[in-house]
């Protein structure tokens, strides 16, 4: 029997100064694509998972899990197994082993990301809890601000090594500049 596994070794990948790159555990992930309108999905998600449907660019979380806006008419349920009753309101697709998640956290995180993505990373444009689908080091991915100096990056598993390599190289370059 085949078992899904993370594309990268989980845990600390690099720490420079107070900024770190960590490969996150592979959570359960399910894409949700509602039919016409989003009201049925919003109602089912609230009833069965206690989560509201996020606004575009948003993230909603609870103790059970989270739901990300993942593009026009797309959401990603992270954490819980989806209730089978969601299937009446959306197309559900298992995505758990399709994505790699990395946490970039610390005082140099924005400077690193500023070299890898065209997103405006200032607080006013990307507040805590905001998420965006964007280019990350020439790969399409998802970037979510999960803390004041913390960002979760997600790319397809086929790009996992490339993401980690780009993050490490860029953090090393930014940290070297800070040391001057």
The neighbouring-strand residues paired with 175 are none
* SS3 state at 159: helix
Residues near 38 by beta carbon (within 8 Å), at least 6 away in sequence? 53, 73
> What pLDDT sits at residue 32?
97
Q: Which of 11, 157, 160, 146 is nearest to 96 (CA)?
A: 157
Mean of pLDDT over the chain: 94
Q: Report the C-alpha gap between 67 and 61 in whole angstroms.
A: 6
Model confidence, pTM: 0.93
How confident is the model over 95-139, as pLDDT tens digits? Answer: 999 999 999 999 999 999 999 999 999 999 999 999 999 999 999
Cβ 128 vs Cβ 148: under 8 Å: yes
The DSSP secondary structure of 123-138, one letter per residue, reads TTTS-TT-EEEEEETT
Over residues 28-42, the mean pLDDT reads 92
> What pLDDT sits at residue 124?
96
How many helices (H) and strands (E) are present in the chain, helices listed first? 3, 11
Higher pLDDT, 3 or 160: 160
H-state helical runs in the chain? 39-49, 109-114, 160-179
**Using 50, 70 and 90 to split pLDDT, how confident is the model at 7?**
confident
Over residues 8-18, the mean pLDDT reads 88
**Using 50, 70 and 90 to split pLDDT, how confident is the model at 35?**
confident
């Amino acid at each position: 029997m085949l078992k899904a596994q993370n594309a990268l070794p989980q845990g600390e990948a690099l720490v420079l100064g107070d900024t770190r790159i960590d490969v996150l555990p592979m959570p359960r992930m399910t894409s949700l694509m509602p039919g016409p309108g989003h009201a049925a999905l919003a109602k089912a998600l609230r009833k069965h998972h206690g989560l509201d449907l996020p606004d575009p660019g948003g993230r909603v979380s609870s103790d059970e899990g989270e739901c990300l806006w993942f593009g026009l008419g797309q959401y990603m349920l992270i954490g819980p197994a989806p209730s089978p009753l969601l299937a009446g309101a959306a197309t559900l697709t298992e995505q758990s082993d399709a994505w790699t998640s990395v946490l970039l956290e610390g005082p140099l995180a924005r400077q690193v990301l500023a070299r890898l993505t065209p997103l405006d990373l200032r607080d006013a444009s990307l507040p805590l809890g905001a998420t965006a689908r964007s280019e990350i080091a020439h790969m399409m991915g998802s970037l979510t601000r999960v803390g004041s100096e913390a960002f979760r990056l997600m790319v397809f598993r086929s790009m996992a090594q490339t993401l980690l390599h780009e993050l490490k190289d860029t953090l090393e370059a930014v940290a070297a500049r800070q040391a001057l």
